[in-house]
Every structure is written in structure tokens, then in C-alpha cells.
Amino acid sequence: MVEDVPRTGFDKSSLERLEQLFIKTVGNEKEIRREEFKKIVTSKNPFFTERVFQIFDKDNSGSISLQEFIDAIHQFAGQSPEDKIKFLFKVYDLD
């Protein structure tokens, strides 16, 4: 994954930290399953957690790969307040 630094929008150090966080979270698994995700992203609103999972799971496989995780973090990290509002709108917009 670190070899994909230019494509991800992260510097090498940030990408390595994200990869380590992902591996620490999933252990020997290669993907984060829905139930694991719900343990990590806690919310009093199950709808919110489920929608965020669906947004991260771009291929609708029922789990989040390392690439999907990095893409989603990149989409949200360092974005303008307007972009963050658009992301939140996407969470709650079902159309």
C-alpha cells in the first residue's frame, strides 16, 4: 500500500500510520466486517453507523478493505467545512 503514496493523497508517514491502524484493528483479517466496524465507530444512532459503513464499503462486499478505508479517510480528512457537511449529508441522504 505504501507504494501507492501519490494516488492516495497522503504522505508516506501518514499512509503507514493508517495502514498500521487498520492492521491493528483487523488483526489477521484483510477487511473490517460490519460488526467490527460498529464496535470501532460507536454512536447512539445505529442508522449513522450503518450509513457510514455503507459509504466506506464502496464495492458493497459487506466489509471494508484497506484501500476502501484509506479512500474514505482521505475523502474526509483535511477537507473544507463545506466538504465535511457534504459528507454528512451523504450519510443521511438515502436517495
For 38-84, write each residue's pLDDT tens digit. 888 888 888 989 998 998 999 999 999 999 988 888 877 767 788 77
Residue 33 β-bridge partners: 63
Q: Give CA torsion, residues 24, 28, 31, 32, to 10 deg.
A: -50
- Are the beta carbons of 15 and 7 closer than 8 angstroms? no
In a domain, residue 4? The reply is no
Tell if the pTM clears 0.85, that is, is over it: no
Its domain, for residue 19, covers 9-92
In a domain, residue 3? The reply is no
In a domain, residue 58? The reply is yes
Give how many domains the chain has, as a whole number. Answer: 1
In a domain, residue 2? The reply is no
16-25 tens-digit pLDDT: 888 898 888 8
In a domain, residue 75? The reply is yes
Q: What's 35's domain CATH number?
A: 1.10.238.10
Residue 65 β-bridge partners: 31
In a domain, residue 84? The reply is yes
H-helix segments, the chain: 5-8, 12-26, 34-40, 46-56, 66-76, 81-92
